[in-house]
Amino acid sequence: MSITLPDLPYDYSALEPHIDARTMEIHHGKHHRAYVDKTNAAIAGTEFEDKSIEELIADLELVPEGIRTAVRSSGGGVINHNIFWTVLSPDGGGEPSGAFAEALAGAFGDSASFRRTFTDAALGQFGSGWAWLVLSDGALAVMKTPNQDSPLTEGRIPLLCLDVWEHAYYLKYQNRRPEYVEVFWNIVNWEEVGRRYEEGMA
């Protein structure tokens, strides 16, 4: 068994005009695929080759030192992108609803305040990394991680994420990360984020 590249749940062009087809094609077909291939190469022939990517990243300290950096970087790239594609949708945007929306309002005041906090994290990540909404001991929190580090390694449950590596936006937005973060809200799949919340709270 090895780690596989999941299909995108929509076409490369589905998130246009917010994220262009060429960026999606390279991001999923080249970058995400390379993370999968490098992770498989690192764990091949070890006792870890039958572990799921979630297990590898959540229990990173169990991975031998000789391959830990490769698993952290490439395996983190696998799990982060696996989540990222599912929390985006061509039918996304709008407002969250249900129990998740109430929890979000409880934690951040209102949806606009949450967006500001998350946007600050996305713009405040110096260089490559990610912005996250996570469950941390059952509480909603915003955080950022450098490179391909995952909140799972810190025992937190990722609910929503935004890739702020330049490869995620450079073709269309060049240096204008704030524009990319702004359009992101038009394609957030709140239904999936709410499902992840309920799963994490169960």
Q: How far is the CB of 170 from Mn ion (least distance, A)?
A: 11
Give whichever of 163 and 192 is closer to Mn ion, judged by the CB atom: 163
Q: Return the H-helix or E-strand segment holding 118.
A: helix 111-124
Q: Among 34, 39, 35, which residue's Cα sits nearest to residue 51?
A: 39
Distance of CA 165 to the CA centre of its chain: 11
d(Cα 131, Cα 148) in Å, to the nearest integer? 11
Q: How far is the CB of 7 from Mn ion (least distance, A)?
A: 17
Q: How far is the CB of 35 from Mn ion (least distance, A)?
A: 8
Give whichever of 149 and 163 is closer to Mn ion, judged by the CB atom: 163
Question: Interface residues with Mn ion (CB under 5 A)?
Answer: 163, 165, 168
The CB-nearest residue to Mn ion is 163
**Residues counted in the chain:** 202
Give whichever of 12 and 165 is closer to Mn ion, judged by the CB atom: 165
Q: How far is the CB of 84 from Mn ion (least distance, A)?
A: 7
Give whichever of 48 and 144 is closer to Mn ion, judged by the CB atom: 144
> CB neighbours of 55 closer than 8 A, spacing ≥ 6?
none
Give whichever of 39 and 103 is closer to Mn ion, judged by the CB atom: 39
Q: Are 71 and 39 in contact (CB under 8 A)?
A: yes
Tell whether omega for the bond before 158 is within 30 degrees of 0, i.e. cis: no
Q: Where would I find the beta strands (DSSP E) of the chain?
A: 129-136, 139-146, 157-163
Give whichever of 24 and 103 is closer to Mn ion, judged by the CB atom: 24
| Token pair belonging to 49 | 């080759």
Q: How far is the CB of 192 from Mn ion (least distance, A)?
A: 18
Q: How far is the CB of 164 from Mn ion (least distance, A)?
A: 9
Burial class of residue 116 (count of CB atoms within 10 Å of its CB; 0-12, 13-18, 19+): middle
